[in-house]
Amino acid sequence: MDRRPQRTAARRRHAVHMIEVEQLTRRYGRHSAVDDVTFRCLPGTVTGFLGPNGAGKSTTMRMICGLARPTAGRATVAGRPYRELDNPGREVGVLLDAAAQHVGRTGREVLTVAAHTMGVGPDRVAATLDLVGLNAVAARRRVRAYSLGMRQRLGLAHALLGDPRVLILDEPANGLDPEGIFWMRGLLRDFADRGGTVLLSSHLLREVEAVADRLVVIGGGRIVAQGDKDELLSAAGTVVRARDPQALRAALTSAGLAVTSGTDGGLLVPAEAGVVGQAAADAGVALTELRPAGSGGLEQIFLTLTAGTSVKEAVR
């Protein structure tokens, strides 16, 4: 079934439940963890937030949720800074660090305390436990005894407890098994299809590719690409291969093209196939493969766009 008209209508109805990030910057000493980052997450969409280790994803999410102060810029949820929301848990569900839960309480106690704070009835506790697949036995156990996957489920239950219209989730699939990941994908897709707004960071590129409508890609604290997932996938440059990869690399570099190594020995070039093929032909290099990087999925886009940024992080 084509759900697009349904999604478009939902977007219009809930236009106020946006996440807006404007020129957000956070410096630690002289290092910019987040540097002039601007994006929007709209109702009815899942936005995948991607970047290599140390790119600035968590810092950005912490600033959106009022847990870190921006050096410059601002972030709002439903039109207001997070800290100014009257009852934040009813507006936005947040899962930033599943390991940071109160380990001495049972799962049910964690949610009961939170429900009380948010002013939602105990029936929501049972409903969200059920929704995230924590059964009665699990709910009676102390969080200390939970696996990481169970903590993620509890964290997600906590985020959903106040029946918010916005979800901000940092690596929610961490620790989930393949079935759990599949389940979460359905849950997030359904949340967005009912008009909700989701911002989701993940290292699991295939997972993001499967669930996201839009992507924000960050590297070294700066946005390197953002937009509609399908558009980004179709405009992600070219994968090229030759029997003599060194000659190919030299030909492309001398033609002024940026070249990075793909996972499977091919070269990734952020340019159209025609331009890449011409550069190789001009240098007399015979190609064995030339194709749009988009057909290699998000993984190749990610490597092309963030090339070099994780190296910067590693040697800093």
Contacts with ligand ATP by CB under 6 A lie at 28, 33, 51, 53-59, 313
Instruction: State the minimum distance, in angstroms, from the CB of residue 267 to ligand ATP.
Output: 26
Give the H/E segment covering residue 219: strand 214-219
Instruction: Identify which of residues 55 and 303 has a Cβ nearer to ligand ATP in the complex.
Output: 55
Instruction: State the minimum distance, in angstroms, from the CB of residue 178 to ligand ATP.
Output: 21
The length of the chain in residues reads: 316
Q: Are 161 and 172 in contact (CB under 8 A)?
A: no
Instruction: Identify which of residues 91 and 313 has a Cβ nearer to ligand ATP in the complex.
Output: 313
Instruction: State the minimum distance, in angstroms, from the CB of residue 147 to ligand ATP.
Output: 20
Q: Are 255 and 271 in contact (CB under 8 A)?
A: no
Instruction: State the minimum distance, in angstroms, from the CB of residue 259 to ligand ATP.
Output: 25
Q: How far apart are the first and last CA of the chain?
A: 49
Q: Are 127 and 149 in contact (CB under 8 A)?
A: no
Instruction: Kindly write down the DSSP assignment for every residue of 233-256, as one continuous string.
Output: HHTS-EEEEESSHHHHHHHHHHTT
Instruction: Identify which of residues 170 and 213 has a Cβ nearer to ligand ATP in the complex.
Output: 170
Q: How far is CA 178 from CA 135, 159, 195, 204, in A?
A: 19, 21, 26, 11
Instruction: State the minimum distance, in angstroms, from the CB of residue 202 to ligand ATP.
Output: 9
Instruction: Identify which of residues 95 and 259 has a Cβ nearer to ligand ATP in the complex.
Output: 95
Name the closest residue to ligand ATP (Cβ): 33
Structure tokens that stand for 217 in this block? 């890609």
Instruction: Identify which of residues 57 and 229 has a Cβ nearer to ligand ATP in the complex.
Output: 57
Instruction: Kindly write down the DSSP assignment for every residue of 153-176, as one continuous string.
Output: HHHHHHHHTT--SEEEEESTTTT-
Instruction: State the minimum distance, in angstroms, from the CB of residue 273 to ligand ATP.
Output: 31
Instruction: Identify which of residues 28 and 182 has a Cβ nearer to ligand ATP in the complex.
Output: 28
